[in-house]
Chain A
Amino acid sequence: FQETKFHDEL
């Protein structure tokens, strides 16, 4: 369970 860095939301 690796955290995904993914800032495509608001």
Chain B
Amino acid sequence: MNVFRLAGDMTHLLSIIILLLKIRATKSCTGISLKTQELYVIVFLTRYLDLFTKYISFYNTTMKLVFLGTSISIVWYMRYHKVVKQTYNKDQDTFRHYFLAIPCFLLALLIHHEFTVIEVLWTFSIYLEAVAILPQLVLLQRSRNIDNLTGNYVFLLGAYRALYLVNWVYRYFTENHLVRWIPWLSGLVQTTLYADFFYYYIKSWKNNEKLQLPA
């Protein structure tokens, strides 16, 4: 494992910790899209089916279990915690899951490495992860006030895949020129979706102003 991949994983982990911290400490999930969080549960459940079939490393197994556990607990808080669920912006979080999930599934049926259940679901999870942030970005655009924890959460979540892109370039040159179009192109799409958010996040940080996305 190289330093870029490790930095990417740590950024991803940190983003989730910040989100859980926000939910637990402030007892509020204002500004967080339940649709996006549910899509991440689907992403992790379909990607980590190989937990049962192959072992890569202690690190991989532990991280997979942490991502599964934390994503499920975030959804649990937002749907069932008696205080937290009242802070959920249901009326603004209207993006439909299936607009994203169905096309990703069809694409995975068409473009994959191997036509097996595990492989198609893995590919589906890569495609779905690329676009799963969309409901969250739509919700942020509709929010008048984006609190710091929410802004930092989305920033770190976007930075994670950008670091993976660097990791893939590094691996290409150091590991026998392995080519992996499916994650590469999906990761590129995923990072591009954040471009606009990154611009306003950095601008607000430099000017020391409150983050707000133009409608």
Residue positions of A touching B, CB distance < 8 A: 1-10
Contacts and interface: CB of A to CB of B under 8 A. Distances in A.
A5 B119 CA distance: 9
Contacts of A2: 179
Q: Which of A2, A6, A9, A10 has the most CB of B within 10 A?
A: A10
Query: Which of B64, B180, B181 has the largest count of A CB atoms less than 10 A from its CB?
Result: B180
Interface residues of B, number: 20
A3 to B, nearest CB: 6
B113 A9 contact: no
B182 A7 contact: no
Interface string B134-173: 0000000000000000000000000000001000000000
Interface of B: 5, 9, 12, 50, 56, 60, 63-64, 67, 113-114, 119, 122, 164, 178-183
Given A10-B64, A10-B67, A5 B113 contact: yes
Nearest to B44: A10
B5 A5 contact: no
Nearest to B179: A1
B67 A3 contact: no
B5 A3 contact: no
Contacts of B182: 3
B56 A3 contact: no
Nearest to A9: B5
13 contacts: A1-B179, A2-B179, A3-B179, A3-B180, A5-B113, A5-B114, A7-B50, A8-B56, A8-B60, A9-B183, A10-B63, A10-B64, A10-B67
